[in-house]
């Protein structure tokens, strides 16, 4: 019975840490955009929803891989912070590599093609970074 309670406690702590990481990640990610993510999503902008969802999914992938290989909550939190930084850099590099259009402007205008492309890049990079951190 003691091992079961320990496992339950670990799940609860893990979920709380994950929620905290996702909240921090969402906040940091929203600082990078020149539009208000919440407002755009509330208006029904699918591109903004895809973009924010992909960033959070990418972060979850990194947290999952880090938590699988980590033996401490602190280590998981630190490497998750590294994941947030990496995902921010991916966005900035992608925006820099596409000088003919600004990613934020395209997403604010509802350009689903740009959102889909960025989603693929974010998820792919998250898987690669997650395996590096394992």
pLDDT in tens, 37-92: 999 999 999 999 999 999 999 999 998 898 888 888 888 888 888 888 988 998 88
DSSP E strand boundaries for the chain: none
d(CA 122, CA 54): 7
* Cβ 78 vs Cβ 66: under 8 Å: no
The domains of the chain are located at 2-133
If you count them, how many residues does the chain have? 134
24 sits in the region (left: phi over 0; alpha: psi -120 to 50; else beta) called alpha
d(CA 80, CA 64): 9
* Cβ 123 vs Cβ 62: under 8 Å: no
Give pTM, 2 decimals.
Answer: 0.85
């Amino acid at each position: 019975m003691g091992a079961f309670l320990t496992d339950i406690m670990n799940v609860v702590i893990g979920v709380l840490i994950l929620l905290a990481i996702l909240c921090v990640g969402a906040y940091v990610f929203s600082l990078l955009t020149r539009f208000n993510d919440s407002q755009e999503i509330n208006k029904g902008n699918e591109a903004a929803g895809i973009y924010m969802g992909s960033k959070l999914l990418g972060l979850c992938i990194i947290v999952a891989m880090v938590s699988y290989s980590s033996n401490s909550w602190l280590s998981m939190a630190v490497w998750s912070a590294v994941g947030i930084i990496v995902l921010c850099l991916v966005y900035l590099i992608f925006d820099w590599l596409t000088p003919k259009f600004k990613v934020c402007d395209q997403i604010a205008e509802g350009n689903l093609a740009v959102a889909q492309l960025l989603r693929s890049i974010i998820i792919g990079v998250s898987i690669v970074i997650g395996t590096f951190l394992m």
